[in-house]
Structure 1
Amino acid sequence: MSDAKYFTTTKKGELAELRADLQGDKRDKKKDAIKKIIANMTVGKDVSSLFPDIVNCMQTDNLELKKLVYLYLMNYAKSQPDLAILAVNTFSKDCEDPNPLIRALAVRTMGCIRVDKITEYLCDPLRKCLKDEDPYVRKTAAVCVAKLHDINSQLVEEQGFLDLLRELLSDSVPMVVANAVASLAEISETSPAAADLGELDTPAINKLLTALNECTEWGQVFILDSISNYHPSEEREAQSICERVTPRLSHANAAVVLSAVKVLMQMMDILPQDSGYLQGLTRKLAPPLVTLLSTEAEIQYVALRNINLIVQKRPEILRDEIKVFFVKYNDPIYVKLEKLDVMIRLCTSQNISSILSELKEYATEVDVDFVRKSVRAIGRCAIKVESSADKCVSTLVDLIQTKVTYVVQEAIVVIKDIFRKYPNQYEGIISTLCQNLDSLDEPDARASMIWILGEYCDRIDEVEEILGSFLEGFQDENPQVQLQLLTAVVKLFLKKPTTTQELVQMVLTKATQDTDNPDLRDRGYIYWRLLSTDPAAAKEVVLAEKPVISEETDLLEPSLLDELLCHISTLASVYHKPPSAFVEGKIPVRKITLDKRPQQSESETTEDQPPEQLSAVSSDTQPTPPQDPQDPGTGDLLGDLLSLDLPSYNAAPPTIGGGGGLAEFDMLSGGIGGLQLGGPLGGGMVTAPPPASMAGLGMDFFSLSAPAPQPNNLVAPKTVWLNSTQGKGLEISGTFARRNGKVFLDATFTNKALGPMSDFAIQFNKNSFGLAPAAQLYVQSPLFPNQPFNTSLELVTGGVVMLMNPLDLLQVAVKNNVGVFYFSCNIPAYTLFVEDGKMDRKVFLSSWKELPSSNEVQKTLSYPLADLDSVKTKLEANNVFIIAERTVGEDMQVLLYVSTKLINGLTVLGELKILRNGQTTLSLKTNAMNVVPLVQSSLDAILSQ
């Protein structure tokens, strides 16, 4: 009879009957009772009261009964830890049972019972099972080590289980080797202390490759994943690995195939790129990937997401297989969209004709999302393959003639990008576009059409009436449409000033007075001020050349792509995100910086540690990976920034034309009269609004909050910290400065992408001086393409202290709507010199004498210092204080004794010996010798300015 009978509705008093059956002598009744208990447990009924009676049933020779008992114990041991101890003796006895199945079952169950008290008794049985003569027991014990490590990692390391696990890599049974590899990989991925545990050497790799052919399919996956993390030092070794892994490409399991592809992709980076072997290997990779596209839709989707990554790195692998990516009528929509994306990546001048005919066919389908993607793909083809632009534009015009609303709107969006890519080539189709103005109801399409009208307003008849019709419903438009409309009308005014004064007056009034959108209002005021003060500058700004548009803008950044290629056949390759972005506790592969540096552990460095102890840290401290700013365990998450609360504006209505003299313009004034300017624009004049109404806009163009640097206070020029390639279009350049006794990070954020950026936030990693932002980062949001924004962020010393190498290293994470980006920069020590660093003469003298001569470092400056007054001024301006001055010797050398104190309280004493010829020697003394190079370089920079 089926076991379904055990799930029938229970009756009152059944627990008492089950207890009686468990305590009876009949084995069959015991088995039925336990099955009934397991059924009740499965459906959620509490049967924990039977725990003591179940434990008494453990001592049996019946394997089926023992499995049921162990299943019950795994479920209820955590809620009954005291009673679970009763089962320990039986577990230990079963681990020495003659039957290997019982031994394996016992050690597996003990590993699954996550109770600390039982964990202590697991060590001896586990050690025996790791050396068991039966391979089934050894493979089970190997997995149990990973489970025990998850419960108590320190116990695993103290008991030497990791060494025993590594010994299993040399086991003669492939099944044991595969489980050992899987266990080591799991431990190394979840534990920072064991991060290097999964690193394998050449002999271990050879053993794994030998076991590869005899493993089960999932064992092969584990082994291949471990091999993919190995980086051979020689070309010959990489080629040997490729030869032994290549047969896995023909495996029936898709996971094995993708894991083999992952290994080969890693090895291909090591092989010479012009070698014949590499070309042959490239040809071998195409068939297995193509085969994956003939399986179930779900596997096809996973394969396509992985192929998307592969072709970004090596498009030549599948360039000749473009037809397999043509969409089938019965493909699910998610497969269709992925195929389209891969087709565009493989598009070349040789295959563009067949791709274009396919895309045109897809644009007539009934699925709206698929049609939109197809139309957009045609535009991407035109941008990517210049020789196909004429055909693509002709195809888009044909699609517009169909008068299907969503097709027309998507076509106009991509035609705008084509105009950007090929200016002054396809203006002939603008009349066709204008015929479809009434069908545009989506913001993207309306904004694109308005951009086209503004860009080519001098070539379009009746453009004033067209833009005027858009202005009638200005307040009801989407913000992106309003912004485009504002810019388009200003362009029109600059090109046709005599006939469009009323139109530009209207749009400027609506943008500055009748809206609550700060971005629209800010842009309106900027245009207004430009038009009223400097028409020539207005032309240069508004009618400037557009940046080159490229099809490559949607590609992943190279560092992220390389990381994702290391995770082919995992969720990371499907999400196109690194594992650390969605797996809690995952050690990120992508570090803030690529170099390993000695750092202190959490136990060695605390916020309360005095600065003088920084020098006592051993230089051979083990490197620890920097914590991911996204990880909740590292402190505060990067929070969403609140938008600036801007006041309402009641500016007087502007007027265009008319008389009125040219008023005096003062950026710092609280108010101004009508500011008018005529001349180059054909007599048209724009009256600027009162600047008082512009206060608090939050724009760096009008910012008055940043105090000016002190005289002679050294501020290094801005350098690029994050380039646009690494930042997916975001470029950050910056410097550090000290103002009014505080440290500031002054940075310029520039959007070099094609779309707007928003939601900016910043976070610092632990650093040598505990620097952290004093407030949230403010960057104008959204930050539009080609727009820079200057910001100043005050820093405080409230962060966690950790010794960095070099000492002035600061690791920064910046977040926006595109992603999280990491970069490193160096903090000049002169910005960390505090204002109260001047010592009393007697204290200075006694401190100098107390410090041993071994703590003195000398350096001869490479430039003369003839002007003593200038030297003093520079030092004092940067908080390096003159304690005493002496003139000694026949050559009248001057001795300047100086002191300075860093922001963490560490004091440095110095002596400058300046000869009459200007030759200078700098001597420094301090308790913490590791700060001497930092202070030396800062004083060098101060004196050489």
Structure 2
Amino acid sequence: MSIKLRELIRSIRAAKTAAEERAVIARECALIRTAFKEDDNQFRHRNVAKLLFIHMMGYPTHFGQMECLKLIASSKFAEKRVGYLGLTQLLDENTDVLMLVTNSVKHDMNHENQYVNGLALCALGNIGSNEMCRALAREVENMMASPNPYLRKKAALCAMRIVRKVDEIEDKFNGKIGNLLEDRHHGVLLAGCSLLTTLLEVNPSYIKEFRRHIPSLVRALRNMVTSGYSSAAEYDIAGITDPFLQAKILRLLRIFGERNVDASDEMNDILAQVATNTEGTKNTGNSILYECVLTIMSIEAESGLRVLGINILGRFLQSRDNNIRYVALATLQRVVNVDQQVMQRHRNTIIDCLKDADISIRKRALDVTYSLIDETNIKSMTKELLNYLLVAETDFKEELCSKLCMAVDKFSPNRQWQIDTLIKIMCLGGSYVKEEQREKFCRVVAATPELHAYTVTKLYANMRESLSQEALVHVGVWCLGEFGDLLVSGNAVGPDDQPISVSSGDVLDLLYDVVRKPPSAEKAAATHCLVAAALIKLVTRCPSEAEKIKKLLRRFDASLHVDLQQRSCEFLELLHSEWDPHRAGILDRMPVPEKEIGGADSRDRPAPVGGAPTGGKDLLDLNDLLDGPAAPSATSNVVSTPAYPASGGGGDLLDLLDGGPPTAPAPTMGGDGLLDMLGVPPAPAASQDAPPMVAFEKNGLKITFFPRKDADGSTTVLAKFANNLNVPMTNFVFEAAVPKYITLTMQPATGQVLPPQTDLVTQTMRCVNSTHGEKGLLMKLRIGYVCNGTPVQEMGQIGGFPLGY
């Protein structure tokens, strides 16, 4: 005996465990299957209704799909309604069974009962496939002209689905839209606006054609705005006449008025009426005002109307409702460039939002505040944000410091104020200043020779007070290494413009304190690397402290951190007497960057501070290298070698790529380790069987291949990498992939940095063609490097090698 739906719900809710619930549902599904097999017509609609509830709980109900089709074909409205409900819930547009219901839907569209027509239209509008929409488009078009407003509304909404699904008949309903927009029935008008909005989104070229309906939309909106409130009115909600229709018309006007002066002039008056006559004490009115402001800011509105819109957002900011304030801040962020002068009036209110208890409000307020900063208010706004940095929560400081640094870099009135402000930021939130901003600060300092002494003195004084801020310590250590001679020269001036005396021993004592108490224990090795670089630089700046520097460097030569150990060993070797003639040149100050710092793109990044390693993706994944249309059909071999193999394992890259032909190991450094590190690349072979081939040339990088046929039948290709830019390319990685019939072996490149305007870096490849030249040599290339702080990844392909290679 089939139980009722409410009894099933009661049984499921009575289950105390998930297992009991599954048992109840399994038992009921078994009974429903039995009823379906017995073709029980009496309780079919009840069983499908229970399946709908089971489906909502996430259990499989596919076995009930055909029963939905049987219910749709029923002559009883109650059964037909359950059938259509099951159709829209248990099936989707990709279900094969759906094509069987097309005739039933078409039949119900021509039914004499309007509610049966509505069920068919609703089903088509929700899950209609491309084929169903194309087959039933004519019926929907006819129903849009029905004298019944209920059917006109349903048909217009169903037409939205057809417009989205069937491209070739999107203009089928164009002639009906005008009548829908002139309709006095609000439901039909709302459906017409929705249909027109969808049509314009699918095909924006229709915007010009449908601008002729702007007067009708303006008239309908004016009637709703000027009509008095009546609690008995059908469409009144909280004192607003049909807010849903008003919002839909405002969005449609926004589309028509964008970048069109004439259309904007037609709607300026009604937008002013909506903005001034709508009561904003409740969310209903606020929603209308919000849509109105977005429309005002999107069209070519008059300046006075724009001021009115921004003032409405200013009132939103003073609301106690966090949702309204968030919406106001989000909108201000979108329109901040419309009228900066008017936006400045609400600056204090926006800054107050930085102290809100809601983190989302604070984050949005920070974005708007940053957008308000310009050359005229940079000093006052920075002061406000620095005061807030003192009390900001920990999880908010990183973003705040980032915004502050970007604003200072972009709008600083002079270089000294820029340096002073950045030092303040690092003193207050140095642990939250990103690596890029620290490097940018060092670039600014290096490019300002007249402030070298001032900067190093100020950093020294702040480091003496506290070593807890990581960014302050890192840039301070770098500056001590670069400009320490200016600090100990006897001409240093303190913050109060009074001469101060700093000895070489004081500087080394401070560096020793940094070694003993690094600001971050997790990043102690990175800090020690910077200290080691600063110490070796101070050898030429404070020669009297050479022995003390050597003693400090020996603290690191047995470090477990490989990079730090290698640095210290190389630096200690540089202190040997044989390097005396060359030491001053090697340890000279870093060259001043060629690009102007104050107006430079924020993506331009300097070399790593003090030579410290920066994060980057040295290993490039070649899994998709041969996925392009020009790739050979055969399975390909992939070989890649970084310019310098990573320390700590020789097979990491090959393991990553599941093995492959072995590559020759990098040459080990002998007694002349520094010369090997700075080694000159080998010259290309003098004899070549084939002329040079340009394998890749883009964005200043040129790769030339010099192929040579060897006596054993293999091909040796020497790749020469030329950097034609005025800035170096760092972290350079060259990778190649070849078809399966070719075996490729690659030697390590002679360098990982391509100096500007040179072609010194080379890499040798050896190819063995198993077809003995019957199939041509083909390579796909992937190149990765960092230029101006921006990672670049390029793809290329080269063929056309001489026959027999």
Task: Tell me the residue number matched to 2:508.
Answer: 464
Cα displacement (A) at 1:315 = 5.0
Cα displacement (A) at 1:463 = 0.8
Distance change >3 Å, CA 242–CA 383, structure 1 → 2? farther
Instruction: Give the AA of the match of 1:200.
Output: Y
Per-residue CA distance 1:301-321 (angstroms, 9 max, x = gap): 566456446547975563443
Matched, 1:41 2:55: yes
Distance change >3 Å, CA 536–CA 643, structure 1 → 2? closer
Higher helix share: 2
Cα displacement (A) at 1:129 = 0.2
Alpha carbon RMSD of aligned pairs, Å? 6.3
Assess if the C-alpha contact under 8 Å between 2:702 and 2:721 holds in 1: yes
Per-residue CA distance 1:410-451 (angstroms, 9 max, x = gap): 6999899668367344555435412334434x4x44323322
Task: Tell me the residue number matched to 1:362.
Answer: 388
Q: Distance in 2 between matches of 1:93 and 1:184?
A: 27
Per-residue CA distance 1:598-620 (angstroms, 9 max, x = gap): xxxx9xx98799xxxxxxxxxxx
Per-residue CA distance 1:784-813 (angstroms, 9 max, x = gap): 9999998779999xxxxxxxxxxxxx9999
Task: Tell me the residue number matched to 2:475.
Answer: 448
Contiguous gaps of at least 5 residues in structure 1? 150-155, 189-196, 269-276, 557-601, 610-634, 650-667, 674-687, 722-731, 765-773, 797-809, 838-902, 904-945
Residues 459-538 of structure 1 mapped to structure 2, 5 A cutoff: 459=487, 460-461=502-503, 462-471=506-515, 477-478=523-524, 480-500=526-546, 503=549, 507=553, 510=556, 515-517=561-563, 534-535=582-583, 537-538=585-586
**Aligned residue among 351, 359, 365 for 1:326:** 351
Assess if the C-alpha contact under 8 Å between 1:375 and 1:396 holds in 2: no
Assess if the C-alpha contact under 8 Å between 1:208 and 1:223 holds in 2: no
Cα displacement (A) at 1:336 = 1.5
Cα displacement (A) at 1:537 = 4.2
TM-score (norm 1): 0.53
Q: Secondary structure at the match of 1:740?
A: strand
Per-residue CA distance 1:710-743 (angstroms, 9 max, x = gap): 7996899999x5xxxxxxxxxx412353421779
Q: Distance in 1 between matches of 2:532 and 2:683?
A: 29
Cα displacement (A) at 1:93 = 1.0
Instruction: Give the AA of the match of 1:538.
Output: I
Q: Distance in 2 between matches of 1:506 and 1:248?
A: 76
Instruction: Give the AA of the match of 1:9.
Output: S
Instruction: Give the AA of the match of 2:673.
Output: P
Matched, 1:835 2:802: yes
Task: Tell me the residue number matched to 1:56.
Answer: 70
Identity %: 12
Residues 360-759 of structure 1 mapped to structure 2, 5 A cutoff: 360-365=386-391, 367-371=393-397, 374=400, 382-386=408-412, 407=429, 409=431, 420=444, 423-424=451-452, 425=454, 429-440=458-469, 442=470, 444-458=471-485, 459=487, 460-461=502-503, 462-471=506-515, 477-478=523-524, 480-500=526-546, 503=549, 507=553, 510=556, 515-517=561-563, 534-535=582-583, 537-538=585-586, 542=590, 544=592, 548-550=596-598, 553=601, 645-646=645-646, 689=673, 691=675, 694=677, 702-704=680-682, 732-740=699-707, 746=721, 748=723
Cα displacement (A) at 1:23 = 7.4
Instruction: Give the AA of the match of 2:137.
Output: L
Cα displacement (A) at 1:358 = 3.1
**Aligned residue among 311, 322, 341 for 1:287:** 311
Cα displacement (A) at 1:170 = 4.9
Per-residue CA distance 1:761-803 (angstroms, 9 max, x = gap): 9999xxxxxxxxx99999999989999998779999xxxxxxx
Cα displacement (A) at 1:326 = 0.8
Assess if the C-alpha contact under 8 Å between 1:352 and 1:388 holds in 2: no
Q: Distance in 2 between matches of 1:514 and 1:99?
A: 85
Q: Secondary structure at the match of 1:449?
A: helix
Cα displacement (A) at 1:202 = 2.4
Matched, 1:128 2:126: no
Cα displacement (A) at 1:99 = 4.6
Q: Distance in 1 between matches of 2:512 and 2:567?
A: 19
Distance change >3 Å, CA 820–CA 542, structure 1 → 2? closer
Cα displacement (A) at 1:89 = 3.2
Task: Tell me the residue number matched to 2:105.
Answer: 91
**Aligned residue among 365, 371, 379 for 1:339:** 365
Q: Distance in 2 between matches of 1:446 and 1:750?
A: 33
Assess if the C-alpha contact under 8 Å between 1:77 and 1:84 holds in 2: yes
Distance change >3 Å, CA 393–CA 821, structure 1 → 2? closer
Task: Tell me the residue number matched to 2:120.
Answer: 106
Per-residue CA distance 1:634-683 (angstroms, 9 max, x = gap): x99xx99989534579xxxxxxxxxxxxxxxxxx999876xxxxxxxxxx
Residues 137-216 of structure 1 mapped to structure 2, 5 A cutoff: 137-146=154-163, 149=165, 156-157=166-167, 160-165=168-173, 170=178, 172-173=180-181, 174-184=189-199, 188=202, 197-200=203-206, 202-207=208-213, 211=217, 216=245
Assess if the C-alpha contact under 8 Å between 1:735 and 1:746 holds in 2: yes
Q: Distance in 1 between matches of 2:270 and 2:721?
A: 52
Assess if the C-alpha contact under 8 Å between 1:716 and 1:735 holds in 2: yes
Distance change >3 Å, CA 389–CA 253, structure 1 → 2? farther
Distance change >3 Å, CA 820–CA 411, structure 1 → 2? closer
Contiguous gaps of at least 5 residues in structure 2? 13-23, 147-151, 182-188, 222-243, 276-285, 488-501, 605-627, 650-665, 709-716, 738-743, 767-779
Cα displacement (A) at 1:9 = 1.9
Q: Secondary structure at the match of 1:439?
A: coil
Q: Secondary structure at the match of 1:448?
A: helix
Cα displacement (A) at 1:39 = 1.7
Matched, 1:7 2:32: no
Assess if the C-alpha contact under 8 Å between 1:100 and 1:136 holds in 2: no
Distance change >3 Å, CA 238–CA 76, structure 1 → 2? closer
Per-residue CA distance 1:264-296 (angstroms, 9 max, x = gap): 4xx69xxxxxxxx6x657645533544554565
Cα displacement (A) at 1:42 = 1.4
Distance change >3 Å, CA 288–CA 60, structure 1 → 2? farther
Instruction: Give the AA of the match of 2:160.
Output: V
Assess if the C-alpha contact under 8 Å between 1:709 and 1:739 holds in 2: no
Q: Secondary structure at the match of 1:739?
A: strand
Instruction: Give the AA of the match of 2:9.
Output: F
Assess if the C-alpha contact under 8 Å between 1:169 and 1:204 holds in 2: no
TM-score (norm 2): 0.60
